[in-house]
Structure 1
Amino acid sequence: MKKYFKITYTESVLLILAFTGLNFFNIIFRKLLIAIHLPDSMIFSISYTIPFIFLFIFISHQAQKKNRIIELSFKVSPWYIYIVLFFVMLCLIILNDYVTSLVPKEGPLLGNMYKEIEDFLKEEAKNPIPFFSTTVLLAPICEEVLFRGIILNGMLKNKIHPIKAILFSSFLFGITHMNPWQFLGGILIGSFIGFIYFTTSSIIDCILLHVFNNAFALFTMFFFMKNEEFFSKEKNFNFWLILIISFTIIMGCIFLFKKRRKK
């Protein structure tokens, strides 16, 4: 009988604390990369990936030590499932945009925080190729393997109720972004991706949804608006549009869940 990798609430939190610690250490590592005159185009990608590499090595070592298997399914879903997945994800992106717009972007604390994020994105966007490849390819792969493939999967294998496991792993996913806008987005979008992992058991589906979300955000920023307009423009949302979108998301999730039960 196979012994699968399992994880508890406490172990999940400790894992994320270790990840956060690695990211703070990464600030020093980033300065080292700058000191050795590494091209700016490479620094962002390398410094982003390093904490994940260390964490995956540690988790792999722990699983091997306990003779546990980390099972990741790379199966591909039927084509019609992807049509539903991406349509629901598009609706969720719009809903997420509305939810995060409710968080103030002004004031001594939130105003400064939002300005720092804005400046960071503008600075990194000066090197579009590494910024795009890291945000659209590296980030979805690394984050989905960690939050859905290891944490959520480990909690499900530990017989933790799916709803609790999905919400808790999404909470951890949101909190690692370390700002209120992405925290809410992490919980909302992370919960949907977690639900998809539960229904399809495929890490590929999760990665593709994450790629779609990040690519949509970047294409919006790069091609549809000027940077200044993207950050400063006030967005107006129609109540009925949000209601229809919410209903569509719910119906899409019900459809996907019924497909899982038929399996």
Structure 2
Amino acid sequence: MKSYFKINYIESILIIIGFIALNFFNVVLKKLLIFINLPDSIIFSISYVIPFILLFTFISYQFQKKNIVIDISMKLSPWYIYITIFFMMLCIMTINESISSLIPIEGHILGKMYKEIDNFLREEIKNPIPFFSTTVLLAPICEEFLFRGIILNGMLKNKIHPIKAILFSSFLFGLTHMNPWQFIGGIFVGSFIGFVYFITSSIIDCILLHMFNNAIALFTTFFIMKEEQIFSQKREVNSWGTLIISFFIVTIGSIFLLKKKNKNNH
């Protein structure tokens, strides 16, 4: 008899530890790909997706071995839900940008880390097609199946309170980005995407939101910002008026989505 996949806090942490370990191993893989003279344009995409493939293969094997079914819905939501959540996502991105901009970008540790990110982006943008396709297409698909489809979904199936499950899975999501600026973004954006998953139960909705977030962030960074650095040293915090409006829209949108979910449940 088959049973549905469930997961607890410890098991979620172990999955992420395994994923991080695979990414450290990925450093060796990347050197190997460089050694065999693969084009730089391909190396980034391959080295990004390999840890996910290995992790998903291992998890899939364990599911089959234990006769466990993971219930991931691929359904599409009504059009008005998409209008609501994409508009809310713009507001979440505005709030996230204001909060992450408060994190220092200078100093011995943070300054060095910030410079490494800046240099990485400068190198990868030299091959825009694989970089954008990986960031806007591959990353949302892989990350959403892991953090919302497996971890959050498994925690909700395990009867863990939705708020705790959403916040914890988002914390792990931010942690895997390995820097404080994206850690904050992982928590804020991840929590909103997790909330949408709780409302719609659709991994497709999560992937589309993630793609939207990454696309806006990349196009803003590389095509709209005119500062000398890709990650500008002169970041401006959004006005209080903009933040208040963003919080208001997110609050109203959340109430609307919760009412729709309760109505559907009844």
Partner deviation per Cα, 1:216-244 (whole Å, 9 max, x = no partner): 01111222124625422321421121111
Counterpart for residue 172 of structure 2: 172
Distance 1:154 1:94, change over 3 A: same
In structure 1, what residue type is equivalent to 2:44?
F
Question: Which structure 2 residues correspond to residues 138-217 of structure 1 after superposition, within 5 A?
Answer: 138-217=138-217
CA distance in structure 1 between the aligned counterparts of 2:231 and 2:182, rounded to whole angstroms: 14
Partner deviation per Cα, 1:69-115 (whole Å, 9 max, x = no partner): 01110000000110001000011111110010010001001110111
CA distance in structure 2 between the aligned counterparts of 1:102 and 1:227, rounded to whole angstroms: 18
- What is the Cα deviation at residue 122 of structure 1? 1.0
In structure 2, what residue type is equivalent to 1:164?
K
CA distance in structure 2 between the aligned counterparts of 1:6 and 1:63, rounded to whole angstroms: 11
CA distance in structure 2 between the aligned counterparts of 1:227 and 1:132, rounded to whole angstroms: 21
TM-score normalized with structure 2 length: 0.97
CA distance in structure 1 between the aligned counterparts of 2:2 and 2:205, rounded to whole angstroms: 24
Identity %: 69
| Residue aligned with 1:126, SS | coil
In structure 2, what residue type is equivalent to 1:221?
T
Which deviates more from structure 2 when the two are superposed, residues 2-11 or residues 79-88? 2-11
Partner deviation per Cα, 1:178-232 (whole Å, 9 max, x = no partner): 1110001000000000000000000000000000000001111222124625422
Partner deviation per Cα, 1:118-170 (whole Å, 9 max, x = no partner): 11111111100000000000000000000000000011111111111100000
CA distance in structure 1 between the aligned counterparts of 2:238 and 2:203, rounded to whole angstroms: 33
| Counterpart check, 1:73 vs 2:76 | no
Q: Which runs of 5+ in 1 are unaligned?
A: none
- Asked if the contact 1:105/1:111 (under 8 Å) is kept, the reply is yes
Counterpart for residue 249 of structure 2: 248
TM-score normalized with structure 1 length: 0.98
* Deviation beyond 3 Å, 4+ runs, structure 1: none
In structure 1, what residue type is equivalent to 2:258?
F
Counterpart for residue 27 of structure 1: 27
- RMSD (Å), alpha carbons: 1.1
Distance 1:30 1:230, change over 3 A: closer
Q: Which runs of 5+ in 2 are unaligned?
A: none
Counterpart for residue 112 of structure 2: 112
CA distance in structure 2 between the aligned counterparts of 1:104 and 1:167, rounded to whole angstroms: 24
| Residue aligned with 2:231, SS | helix
Counterpart for residue 257 of structure 1: 258
